[in-house]
Chains A and B, each alone.
Chain A
Amino acid sequence: EPEVTQTPSHQVTQMGQEVILRCVPISNHLYFYWYRQILGQKVEFLVSFYNNEISEKSEIFDDQFSVERPDGSNFTLKIRSTKLEDSAMYFCASSEIGTVSGANVLTFGAGSRLTVL
């Protein structure tokens, strides 16, 4: 079964450092997303991306965050200057088409755990 892969699985960084989280979406999917989940809290939407540009972003996705599709397979999330409150599990997801419905759903990667010290 096709899957979304994410690297690294766990990253520890110092406050103020830049972090790049990487994702390889499912190959025929065109829409890509980042979500995050702070420990013990709900999964929250960060950003959606289609056709090499951001489609939508949440209030969480401020100027410290950026996304990029540097080549035909990778989709990255960069946090420019990490803060303690950025510690969370970051999930990448992809979908074949943009409209979420019963027939078209998001497939999530296993996540990248970010710990900011």
Chain B
Amino acid sequence: RKEVEQDPGPFNVPEGATVAFNCTYSNSASQSFFWYRQDCRKEPKLLMSVYSSGNEDGRFTAQLNRASQYISLLIRDSKLSDSATYLCVVNRGSTLGRLYFGRGTQLTVWP
């Protein structure tokens, strides 16, 4: 079973739409969770960390369900600039800086 699994998409949505991405992780010992975004042929950039109680950063909301080993990202009021690949990323906590990446979910926002 893969460490981190994501629906690859692609998701094609109009500007202003709300879109949600899901992710599951296999290792119950995982301790830290993140969403990164990656533009085509660029480096991953941290979008937000995901906390147990759920957290929001502007139009972005992340949720974590440890019991189900499930992470989600909700994007409200999509902008053209949100077009990117969204990477679900997990760290087990005991290993220094070793992140496990999902393959990513591709989002295209059209005008």
Q: Which residue of B lies closest to A93 (CB)?
A: B97
Nearest B residue to A3 by beta-carbon distance? B43
Which range holds the interface residue count of chain A?
Answer: 20 to 34
Whether the Cβ atoms of B87 and A31 lie closer than 8 Å is no
Q: Say whether A110 contacts B42, CB under 8 Å.
A: yes
Instruction: Tell me whether B103 and A55 are in contact (CB under 8 A).
Output: no
Partner of B93, one of A31, A44, A100: A100
The answer to whether the Cβ of B34 comes within 8 Å of any Cβ in the partner chain is yes
Q: How many A-B residue pairs have CB under 8 A?
A: 68
Bound complex: CA A42 to CA B102 (Å):
6
| Chain B residues whose CB sits within 8 angstroms of the CB of A89 once the complex forms | 41
Cβ of B104 and Cβ of A108 under 8 Å apart? no
Contact B32 A42 (CB under 8 A): no
Grouping DSSP codes into helix (H, G, I), strand (E, B) and loop, the A interface class, with mixed when no group exceeds half, is strand
User: 23 A-B Cβ contacts within 8 A?
Assistant: A33-B97, A42-B4, A42-B87, A42-B101, A42-B102, A42-B103, A42-B104, A43-B99, A44-B101, A45-B99, A45-B100, A55-B97, A56-B95, A91-B43, A91-B44, A99-B96, A100-B91, A100-B96, A100-B99, A102-B49, A106-B97, A110-B42, A113-B41
Write the residues of chain B forming the contact surface with A, with a CB cutoff of 8 angstroms: 4, 31-32, 34, 38, 41-46, 49-51, 87, 91, 93, 95-104
By a beta-carbon cutoff of 8 Å, the part of chain A in contact with chain B is 31, 33, 35, 41-45, 48, 50, 55-56, 58, 89, 91, 93, 95, 98-102, 105-106, 108-111, 113
